[in-house]
Structure 1
Amino acid sequence: MAWFYLAIAGVLEIVWAFSMKKSAGFTALTPTIITFIAATASFILLSVSMRSLPLGTAYTIWTGIGAVGAFAVGVLVLGEAATPGRLIAGALIISGILLMKISGGGGDAF
């Protein structure tokens, strides 16, 4: 279950990053509320996953999911640039997440 909680926490990190962008500096009420709810839930689920996963593994994977997910949302939804360098950087982050998982990250399977 730890990996499930960690995956949901990572998805919620993407949600709060996107809603923070849409909040226009916390001046738009609905995206601001979504930001705080998603961020709180993400932190709680990360904390729960850390009961059985090592800190380095859980935190690295959580931030990696958020980073790659926010990048993908930026490109696919917000029309941000998908340059070769940015795509390679995203692929390297994904590689790091996978390597962290398979190199003895602890806990149950994905």
Structure 2
Amino acid sequence: MIPKKFSIDKIPSYGPYNTCVVVGGFLFISGQIAGEEHTNNIEMETKKVMENIKIILSENGIGFQNVIKTSIFVTNMSNFYIINNVYSKFFHKGSYPARETVQVVGLPKNANIEISLIAYKN
């Protein structure tokens, strides 16, 4: 099966990849950062990343209720609770996807957080 590729013009791309790809009913969203708007304010960056993801999900006719797995990469794990507070507001309480959070040395464009995910288009 050839994956269906999407180019979402509303979301900046920083390399040779698609913003998202659909394969067999699954939507794979590439890692999203806050873009040029990062301010070293992890709360604002996390909100911008989640808003970008919301746009991509919406452009594909689904929402956060369809998300089944997220991967969060952060440069400082001490921001874990701030990130969780913002992140949780985008999901219905109790219906969170599977997830891992990993501290990394660096992210593109000196971002402090990057989130990728998999959703199911039923």
TM-score, length-normalised on structure 1? 0.29
Give the number of the structure whose residues are more often strand, by fraction: 2
TM-score, length-normalised on structure 2? 0.27
Give the number of the structure whose residues are more often helix, by fraction: 1
Largest Rg, 1 or 2: 1
